[in-house]
Amino acid sequence: MGEKITYLQLLNQLKSTREDRGKKVKSLYHFTGEEDFLKEEALKRIVSILVPVDLKSFNLDLLYGAEISADQIINCASTSPVNAKRRVVVVFDLHKLSTFSKDVLLSFLPKLPDSVCLILLSPKITSTTKFYKALEKSATTVQFSRLWESQISDWITKRISGQGKKIERNGIHILQDLVGNNLADLATEIDKLVIYVGERELITSSDVKSAVGLSRTHTIFQLLDAIGERDGRRSLEILRNLTLSGEKPGGIIFWLTEHLEKLIQTREFSSDSGRSLVSVLKTKPFLLAKYKKQATNFSLEELEKGLHLLYQADVDLKSNLMPDRMLLELLVYNLCHL
């Protein structure tokens, strides 16, 4: 019989499962809701409990709804685990599974082996179709709602506490001001803070300003996003800070090239290919919206011209035809004004 729980309730369950080697991990989960980062965190937690690192290639299957049939899910879920008690099968983009495959999958779920943990992931469900109604009756449905701003402060405190640290209340406010409310970005900056303070237990406001403030100003990913938004002034500002902090010109060109290639893949993507955009880009599901938005800011011809500029900049950099800083500033300006 299915049940509905929240992400926090799932975490509480998973804490207890570590002591009894995963016996309380359910056989069937449906992860739904807007907060993809928390879904990935929960997914990692379950995998870490059930699947030994050296056996992931045997006991962990990652499938995508747009690319598979129910038969493939059933085949993976029916395969016995190798040198372990359980195996994990994950299906991303459940909503993209064909209607026929959904019906076949429903007929299989009552026969799901105890040796498998099947995790089905979908975005927030706004319709109550026959499939989702039936799924609710057999799966543990976990709701991953987007956190309210007031909840994010508690989330930050708990995540830092989980790494054996504490943070000043004002430090939390400064962290949110600098980073925003994107959980993936916050998690990255918290990890940096933990490393920055070393053996000290308390993270102060000054630590946040020094470590996070500097890194947020100097992050290569902010440069990628600023260029993706065609914000020339901000792009040049970030670039100058990056070069002052010692970022290597070759590394900047590498990341810019990879980013434009992903934007081209996004522009050219067709669902008729039989693959999902996540698998094409080889990225995290929660980053898809950003790539889709930025890709619309350029035509395909402009992006291809940008790649040509990057290739030429790489040649010029190795040839020492002009000072590195001048070369990069000219490159970034041209990318924003394709």
What are the extents of the domains in the chain? Answer: 3-143, 149-218, 221-336
Output the six-digit token pair for 104: 């076949």
Q: Give the residue among 94, 88, 87, 47 at the shortest CA–CA distance from 70.
A: 94
Q: Is the pLDDT of residue 20 over 70?
A: no
Res 273: pLDDT: 67
- 3-state SS, residue 147: coil
Mean pLDDT of the chain: 86
pLDDT tens-digit profile of 63-87? 998 889 999 999 999 999 998 889 9
Residue reference for tokens 């085949």 = 75
Query: 149-218 architecture in CATH?
Result: Orthogonal Bundle (1.10)
The verdict on domain 3-143 having CATH code 3.40.50.300 is yes
More confident residue, 142 or 211: 142
Residue 69 CA to chain centroid, in angstroms? 25
Instruction: State the average pLDDT over residues 3-29.
Output: 79
Res 110: pLDDT: 92
Q: Which CATH code is given to the segment(s) 221-336?
A: 1.20.272.10
Burial letters 202-235, b for 16+ CB under 10 A, else e: ebbbebbeebbbebbebbbebbbbbbbebebebb
Res 207: pLDDT: 86
Q: Percentage helix, strand, coil, to 5, in the chain?
A: 65, 10, 25
Task: Return d(Cα 76, Cα 60) in angstroms, integer.
Answer: 9
Instruction: State the average pLDDT over residues 279-301.
Output: 83
